[in-house]
Amino acid sequence: MRKTIIPLDRILIALAISLVHAVCPGFCAGQGAVELEFTDKDSGDPVSARLTFTKSGKKLVRPRKVLFSQEQWLAEKKLQLTPPNGEFEFSAQRGPEFNEIKGGFTIEPRAKDSVSIVIPRSINMHAEHWYSGDHLSALPASDLLRWQAADAVDLTVSTAEVKESKVLNTNPPQKGRSSKGQDNAVDESTKAEINPNGLGLQTSSRSLEWEHGAILLHGVKPAPAKSSDGAEALELLDQPKDQKPVVVELLRPWSRDVPLLLASDAIRSVQILSSCNRLGGDDRMVVAPSPEKGVFGKVLLTLGKEKSPSQIFAPIESIDSVRYKDALGVGKLSESIYWKMLEAGLQLTPTAGSGFAGNETLVGYNRVYTYSANPPDEAAWWQAVSNGHTFVTNGPMLRANINGLPPGSVQTSYRSQSIALDIGVSLAVRDPVDYLDVVFNGDTIYSAKLEDHYKRGEFPPIEIDKSGWLVIRVVTEHTKGYRMATTAPFYFVFDGKPRVSREAVSFFQRWQKGASESINSSPEAKIKYEPWVARSSQFWESKMAESNAE
């Protein structure tokens, strides 16, 4: 006998779910059995899901050969169970684009039943030309694909070692952006195909970890793990153009060598939602009581059951350090440092990665969405990242455009002619959200309670009359970690001069000074780093000479 569970649809703020008990008929004394089958509501195709089971409030023993992560089972299309008799409840999840389903069933003696669980899509991101990615996992690609399908993540990045060591794509995307968005033209007559399991794209990238920095080299196969230092990493970034990675992504934006990495002109993106942001609670930050040798605190990185300190060299003002001491601190710190980079005139793309299999998280918990006119392949994905056509999230589903253009676009004008903003926003949330913010050059120029904004139905008139960057963001009321969504920057350039803030450049010069003092404390490091320290100093001096704003 087959029973079907069909949930109610989700509304904008509250998630509506059904609770249906499929009671299995009893035959005679003995152990019962049930087969759970998962299907996509729109297509009817079988899908995978993440499951949590309880019996009378207690966790159910996991069947053999069923993969699990963080007390969640991986149910791949069909799941055979022979549990003890009794009543069971379950939760089935497939990530933020699908409704969470809660239901239950009763096992009676010798019962045999098949339960069909229909999972509806709560939002159709592909139809809006947005595609999801998770830029960091330590799991091998073959195993990662199974979890990837369960959360319908379109692209995943694995840093697990592979046998081959070669460049995946020797044609790196160009950094230039279209000011009018011609490269993003969408043919609305083309109907987006919806794959309930995502596109299934996978790539392997090399991770370079050292005490004072970390970067991802997308487009370069992982190599056997070995000890390395920042000088070796910087030397690698100096390779000939045709041997360079497709995209270099910065992790841990507070680390010592960040000013040197930024000065290399190789960094293209910054992971502002990272393995530090986790489902059960974020990593915590400890502020140094009195900064020494350029160290202003440390982030306690969670690696399994261990805590590994990562020193903070970003010159945090003592008056601001209080903002970073609670459970939201690391997320706020990453975002504020990223904004400093934008203020210094660097056009960098925000990205996200979960760190799955290396910490307590899930594939796609932190996601980067890229905007693409057509379903992207790997090359198109990195081109979208290079162009800044992204938003990042670990909760709210935020899609936005300004004057019909996606994030990453550059709009130009002259001092005598301001730019009026026609802002379009679509937002779906599960966690409560208080405010929707529009931030220009680090200052909030529009903020409204979400309920009030949707009652109004539109943004008030907003005009831009000077160069700068603008992001649209929401932060949830989640208290165990920084759960938010933000667009990549929209850029505005007047009289051909992008914004470069003197205060922001000074921030990185102070950081550079502290990094240099730390490097020079070791004679060996001083010799190895010398070329890049000199180059970095010149880079930030030239940025200061270019500065045109406070």
Q: What is the pLDDT of residues 28-76, one digit of tens each?
A: 335 667 888 999 998 899 999 999 877 765 666 677 788 888 778 899 8
**In angstroms, what CA-CA distances link 393 with 101, 125, 277, 329, 354?**
22, 13, 11, 17, 11
Confidence tier at 339 by pLDDT (50, 70, 90): very high
Backbone φ and ψ of 445, nearest 5°: -105, -10
H and E: helices and strands count for the chain: 9, 34
Cα separations (Å) of 451 from 159, 195, 398, 455, 462? 42, 32, 15, 6, 20
User: In the prediction, which pLDDT does 67 show?
Assistant: 86
Retrieve residue 178's tokens: 């279209």
More confident residue, 126 or 225: 126
Distance, in Å, from the CA atom of 195 to the CA atom of 342, rounded to the nearest integer, reads: 36
User: Would the pLDDT of 193 be above 70?
Assistant: no
- pLDDT at position 22 over 60: no
Q: How confident is the model at residue 343 (pLDDT cuts 50, 70, 90)?
A: very high
Please give the pLDDT value at position 56: 67
Q: Is the predicted pLDDT of residue 363 greater than 70, yes or no? A: yes
Answer yes or no: pTM beyond 0.85: yes
Residue 120 to residues 5, 95, 127, Cα–Cα distance (Å): 11, 12, 15
Instruction: Specify the 3-state DSSP secondary structure of 226.
Output: coil
Confidence class of residue 214 from pLDDT cuts 50, 70 and 90? Answer: very high
Confidence label for 109 from pLDDT (cuts 50, 70 and 90):
confident
Rounded distance, CA 185 to CA 547, Å?
A: 34
**Cα dihedral 306, 284, 484, 477 in deg (nearest 10):** 120
Residue 222 pLDDT? 86
Mean pLDDT of all residues belonging to the chain: 85
β-bridge pairing 58-59 and 48-55: antiparallel
Q: How confident is the model at residue 337 (pLDDT cuts 50, 70, 90)?
A: very high
Please check the confidence at residue 185 and state whether its pLDDT lies above 60: no
Count of CA atoms in the C-beta half-sphere (13 A) of 354: 30
Band of residue 163 on the pLDDT scale cut at 50, 70, 90: very low
Provide the pLDDT for residue 239.
Answer: 80
Backbone angles phi, psi at 243, to 5 degrees: -110, 0
> What is the C-alpha separation between 487 and 156, in angstroms, rounded?
20
Query: What is the strand order of the sheet 284-292 is part of?
Result: 284-292, 295-303, 306-312
At 506, list the tokens.
């000074």
CB proximity list for 396: less than 8 A, separation 6 or greater: 427, 428, 429, 431, 433, 474, 476, 483, 484, 485
The residue extents of the domains of the chain are 2-119, 126-503, 504-546
Give 414 or 64, the one with higher predicted confidence.
Answer: 414
Residues near 544 by beta carbon (within 8 Å), at least 6 away in sequence? 502, 505, 506, 509
Task: Report which of residues 54 and 127 the model is more confident about.
Answer: 127
Give the class (CATH, top level) of 2-119: mainly beta
Which pair of structure tokens corresponds to residue 431?
């966690």
Element (H, E) at 234: helix 230-237
CB atoms within 10 A of CB 373: 14
Closest CA to 500 of 342, 349, 334, 388: 342
* pLDDT tier, 361 (very low <50, low <70, confident <90, very high otherwise): confident
Q: What is the pLDDT of residue 34?
A: 80
Phi-psi region of 65 (alpha: psi -120 to 50; beta: other; left: phi over 0): left
The Cα 505–Cα 314 span in angstroms is 12
Task: Answer whether residue 20 shows pLDDT above 50.
Answer: no
Other C-beta atoms closer than 10 Å to the C-beta of 40 total 20
Q: What's residue 199's pLDDT?
A: 94
291 pLDDT band (50/70/90 cuts)?
Answer: low
Confidence of residue 292 (pLDDT cuts 50, 70, 90): low
Give me the pLDDT at residue 7, please.
36
Contact 310, 301 (CB under 8 A): yes
pLDDT confidence bin for 142, thresholds 50/70/90: confident
Distances in Å between the alpha carbon of 162 and those of 204, 271, 291, 381?
A: 8, 23, 41, 21
176/56: higher pLDDT = 56
The answer on pLDDT for 289 being more than 80 is no
**What would the DSSP string read from start to end of 407-463?**
TT-EEEEBTTB-EE--EEEEEE-SS-EEEEEEEETTEEEEEEEHHHHHHH-SPPP-E
DSSP 294-322: TEEEEEEEEETTEEEEEEE-S---HHHHG
**Is residue 503 pLDDT above 90, yes or no?**
yes
